[in-house]
A and B are shown apart, each in its own frame.
Chain A
Amino acid sequence: PFKRYVEIGRVALVNYGKDYGKLVVIVDVVDQNRALVDAPDTVRSQMNFKRLTLTDIKIDINRVPKKKTLIDAMEKADVKNKWENSSWGRKLIVQKRRASLNDFDRFKLMLAKIKKAGIARQELAKLKKETAA
């Protein structure tokens, strides 16, 4: 029934608060509600589990590793690439890109969508003609 567990080395996404959207690693469990959490670019701190969403990625570390060990372990497990190639990670990247679009970019996007739809419709019409003939 459960596939993603809270364990030392579990990579999680922060879904609330100052570090919203960051990937962090659970390095220790404080109590039933809180975990000690660390990331290469943040200070090691405690976070409530409610602020985290577990991902599929897990790395191999001991309890509360030193920053350098943590970074090395993350490199070895290639967390960054695994995340950016996962469908969840890719979706987040697309969302961020869409939110940062300029007014001009949105206009160009609209033109591209219309063009794509036009080409698809042309192909469809061609196929329809072939089956009808």
Chain B
Amino acid sequence: MAAKRKTPVKTRNPDLIRGVGKYSRSKMYHKRGLWAIKAKHGGDVKKPLLNKRKPKPTKLRASITPGTVLILLAGRFMGKRVVFLKQLTSGLLLVTGPFKINGVPLRRVNQSYVIATSTKVDISGVNVEKFDDKYFAKEVEKKKKKGEGEFFEAEKEDKKTLPDEKKEDQKTVDASLIKSIEGVVDLKAYLAARFSLKSGMKPHELVF
């Protein structure tokens, strides 16, 4: 710990308004005399300390527990009712349709774009250990050398097919889920249907 000064240091750069100083970076360089300090110490100046702050993982809403049915509010699958599996280290929620029921694959979704219902599905038979953010990273494409002639041809396939391994993962996760879903009456049809606001529904009064 550095010894505290008897008089606090007066700022050399007063604020014009919050966030805007009176002197520019180059003016401040001269004001602080960094040119002289550098000359004195042969080019080494004290650097400000590194910011080692790590952002905390997003806090999960209390209403979202593994097995909760969520309603997606945005994106390609908006309105779909979907089963929550776990929260990934990035804070995003890992979610699955199940795929056979409503076409939503294993997918990451942000907590803010989701309504949590109070309906829960039994998720004990599912092993979600192997899924993390790296699993969902985009495939790195190998760079091809630019060739004049190749520009005018469709050199890449239009659709990138999912690797079989991921399809298998989807099937194993969904197998036990679908069994527990079929145990509850009407739950399968519920997950297959999309949610929409109808006339007379007031979202602030609805219980989800």
Q: Please list the residues of chain A having a beta carbon within 8 angstroms of any beta carbon in chain B.
A: 99-104, 107-108, 111
Is B118 a contact of A111 with CB atoms below 8 Å? Answer: no
Taking CB atoms, residues of chain B closer than 8 Å to A111 are: 186, 189
Cα–Cα, bound, A101→B207 (Å): 6
Q: Write the chain A residue with the least CB distance to B120.
A: A104
Q: Write the chain B residue with the least CB distance to A104.
A: B119
Q: Write the chain A residue with the least CB distance to B186.
A: A108
- Chain A proximity mask over B189-200: 1 for CB below 8 Å, otherwise 0: 110010100000
Q: A104-B69, A104-B117, A104-B119 are in contact. Are A99 and B207 (CB under 8 A)?
A: yes
Residue from A100, A101, A103 with most neighbouring chain B CB atoms (10 Å): A103
Taking CB atoms, residues of chain B closer than 8 Å to A107 are: 186, 189-190, 193
* Besides the known contacts A103-B71, A103-B206, A104-B117, 18 further A-B residue pairs in the complex with CB atoms under 8 A apart: A99-B207, A101-B207, A102-B119, A102-B207, A102-B208, A103-B69, A103-B81, A103-B119, A103-B208, A104-B119, A104-B186, A104-B187, A107-B186, A107-B189, A107-B193, A108-B185, A108-B186, A108-B190
Q: Write the chain A residue with the least CB distance to B193.
A: A107
Q: Write the chain B residue with the least CB distance to A111.
A: B186
Cα–Cα, bound, A92→B75 (Å): 39
State how many angstroms separate the Cβ of A1 from the closest Cβ of chain B: 36
Q: Write the chain B residue with the least CB distance to A102.
A: B118
State how many angstroms separate the Cβ of B198 from the closest Cβ of chain A: 10
Taking CB atoms, residues of chain A closer than 8 Å to B185 are: 108
* 8 smallest beta-carbon distances between A and B, as pairs: A104-B119, A103-B117, A107-B190, A103-B208, A108-B186, A102-B118, A104-B190, A100-B207
- Chain A proximity mask over B110-127: 1 for CB below 8 Å, otherwise 0: 000000011100000000
Taking CB atoms, residues of chain A closer than 8 Å to B189 are: 107, 111
